[in-house]
Amino acid sequence: MDMIYLDSNATTKVHPEVVEAMLPYLTDQCYNPSSGYRAGKKVKDAVELAREQVASLIGADIREIYFTGCGTEANNAVLYSLAGMCGENRKIITSEIEHSAILRVCEHLTERGFEIIKIGVDGGGRLDLDAWEKAVNADGVAFSTLMWANNETGIIQPIAEACALAKAAKVPFHTDAIQAVGKTVVDVREVPVDYLSISGHKFHAPKGIGALYVRSGIRFEPMFRGGGQESGYRSGTENVASIVAMGKAAEIMQAKLGSDGHAGVAELRDYLETIIKDSLDGVQVNGAVEYRTANTAHLAFEDCEASGLLILLDEYGVACSAGSACMTGKQQPSHVQKAMGFSNERANSSLRISLSIFTTREEVEEAAKMVIKAVNKLRSVQGRGNVGPVVIYTE
């Protein structure tokens, strides 16, 4: 890579072993898995192996995994399915900090008479469970959806508790686990969610492949109808190469979680934070650190606008982001940080730095140096306590 990439919550590099596994299905093994001849059946076997690998990563049964075109599709498919099956019930229980792939769907459903109830989080970015309990026990609840880990802060939600409360109230429970799968243990035997969304490109598979977990015995109404692939849950000729890739990536991440549970990634993330905090004053770590995914640091730099920092860091060869990638370029403070009670200043001065299993110690040291340089530069041109328009002098 021609820069230090610290934006792995946005997307990740495809693992070389994953590239190797998928390549034959882009070239010689081009057959349709639905074809009856032996070559087609072999391709079908590759899809089923991938299903097994993805199922194994989250402790699911192979018959509970359906491949989708991306994580957004998995979220949309579940929410519209639930909205179509909920009878007279019209309340959707979710959180203030969901990704737009949940929030925009919920907002669209309000046009069909649904009401969204967004439960808040505390200053550490964790769900208010008392409010959640009250909400799922109200009359007329259609379904509930809560992310497993947040894409901006990396904060892991009290998912087992929220799931148990929803189930006790007989409310269907979906989780957007896109930022958790492959980074922390996600096991549907321990947390009995009804539905769960996964995205391959967050854990070293290519972009444009996702999966949906639907617990056996739980109803689901497909969004796509057609050739009946994926047991009729997602028609459309399978994206075999990407499915194989996601399976291989799942296998690699499962082995990684089993061996060191990403301790090496967390150690590098903590090292980066330590260097930065030791060299700069006015740095705050956002979110409840004990609940973070191993790879994410979310830092606020007093008297520094993140938009300016990003431009300087790009100039210095470091890629990271302010809030989520989808927020970049927008002026409003992130809805996640607002939900955590941050002032506009703090929200607009926060950087998301997200590592991966490929991040090296040398990269962390160099990136920390560049962050310190960028913050000092920005503070020198803007003046401490006097955040005005961002003025950038590049070298």
Ligand X SMILES: Cc1ncc(COP(=O)(O)O)c(C=O)c1O
Which residues here bind ligand X, judged by CB under 6 A?
70-72, 99, 101, 147, 151, 176, 178-179, 199, 201, 210
35-59 burial, b at 16+ Cβ within 10 Å, e below that, comes to eeeeeeeebbebbebbbbbbbbbbe
How is residue 236 annotated by DSSP? S
Find residue 198's DSSP bridge partners. 211
Q: Which amino acid is at 339?
A: A
Asked about 163 being catalytic, the answer comes back as no
Least distance to ligand X, CB of residue 73, Å: 7
- Distances from the Cα of 110 to the Cαs of 64, 87, 117, in angstroms? 29, 15, 11
* 134 within 8 A of 111, measured Cβ to Cβ: no
Least distance to ligand X, CB of residue 264, Å: 23
Q: Which is nearer to ligand X, 43 or 50 (CB)?
A: 50
Q: In sequence order, what DSSP letters do the residues of 302-358 get, joined into one string?
A: TT--HHHHHHHHHHTTEE-BSS-GGGTT--SPPHHHHHTT--HHHHTTEEEEE--TT
Find residue 122's DSSP bridge partners. none
Q: Which is nearer to ligand X, 178 or 240 (CB)?
A: 178
Least distance to ligand X, CB of residue 100, Å: 8
- Distances from the Cα of 183 to the Cαs of 133, 244, 392, in angstroms? 27, 20, 36
Q: Which is nearer to ligand X, 12 or 382 (CB)?
A: 12
Least distance to ligand X, CB of residue 347, Å: 18
- Cα 70 to Cα 206: distance, rounded to the nearest angstrom: 10
Q: Which is nearer to ligand X, 209 or 244 (CB)?
A: 209
Q: Where are the alpha helices (DSSP H) in 137-225?
A: 159-168
Q: Which is nearer to ligand X, 127 or 147 (CB)?
A: 147
Q: Which is nearer to ligand X, 99 or 292 (CB)?
A: 99
How open is the CA angle 45-47-51, to the nearest 5 degrees? 110
Q: Which is nearer to ligand X, 238 or 305 (CB)?
A: 238
- β-pair type (91-95, 141-145): parallel
- For 157, half-sphere exposure in the C-beta direction (CA atoms, 13 angstrom radius) is 32
Q: Which of the following is catalytic: 70, 106, 320, 326? A: 326
Residue nearest to ligand X (CB): 71
Least distance to ligand X, CB of residue 74, Å: 8
How is residue 232 annotated by DSSP? G
Find residue 115's DSSP bridge partners. 91
Tokens of 139: 């009359």
Least distance to ligand X, CB of residue 154, Å: 10
Least distance to ligand X, CB of residue 340, Å: 16
Q: Would you name the residues annotated as active-site residues?
A: 326
